[in-house]
Amino acid sequence: MSAAAPITSTDLRAFAGHFATGVAVVTSRSPEGDLAGVTINAVTSLSLDPPLFLICLDHKSNTLGTLLASGHFCLHFLSKGQTEVSKIFASKREDKFTEASYRIGETGSPVLDGVLAAAECRLAEICPGGDHTIIIGQVDKVHIHGGEPLLYHRGAYAALEQERLAA
């Protein structure tokens, strides 16, 4: 039996793209007051007791350094009308917050306006994860506004259909 060809990053990205995800933005503020944020979809609810969420950030992300220095972050779930917010925070721009409406939350991180929900978190644990760092955050405060989510599937933004399947 011959060995299988190694999986490329292109293969893995194509596979992962078939899993529809919500679109999230992670923000943080450095001890010096500098703001950072990035669009992600690697998000998992980890524990109800204690309240924990898991996010994954690329080692090259400026937001990762800010988050590690500050020890806090805010996780936002974007609404279907926030495609531009997602694109801004997915970019390498340094002025991301000039076009974003936000306030500084209780834990010190920016809390974006117009999102479905946001969770202010304290850094609880970090773990290696290949070319990403796995961040576990303890949720200190939630802001729930509701609405329809912004989704991402096979390289494009998507929305829920009007009819929902019965649970």
In a domain, 124, yes or no: yes
| SS3 label, residue 115 | coil
In a domain, 2, yes or no: no
Is the pLDDT confidence value at 1 over 80? no
| SS3 label, residue 21 | strand
**pLDDT tens-digit readout, 66-83:** 999 999 999 999 999 999
Both tokens of residue 84? 């531009």
Domain CATH for 46: 2.30.110.10
Please report where in the chains the tokens 């194509």 appear, as a residue. 14
Q: What mean pLDDT comes out for the span 125-143?
A: 97
pLDDT band with cut points at 50, 70 and 90 for residue 153: confident
Is the pLDDT confidence value at 3 over 80? no
In a domain, 15, yes or no: no
pLDDT at 166 (0 to 100): 47
Q: How many domains does the chain have?
A: 1
Using CA atoms, how far apart are residues 133 and 58, in angstroms rounded to an integer?
A: 6
**pLDDT tens-digit readout, 33-52:** 999 999 999 999 999 999 99
In a domain, 46, yes or no: yes
In a domain, 45, yes or no: yes
Asked if 89 and 25 count as a contact pair (C-beta separation under 8 A), the reply is yes
R_g over Cα of the chain: 17
In a domain, 156, yes or no: no
| SS3 label, residue 85 | helix
pLDDT at 155 (0 to 100): 87
pLDDT at 103 (0 to 100): 97
Share of the chain above pLDDT 90, in %: 76
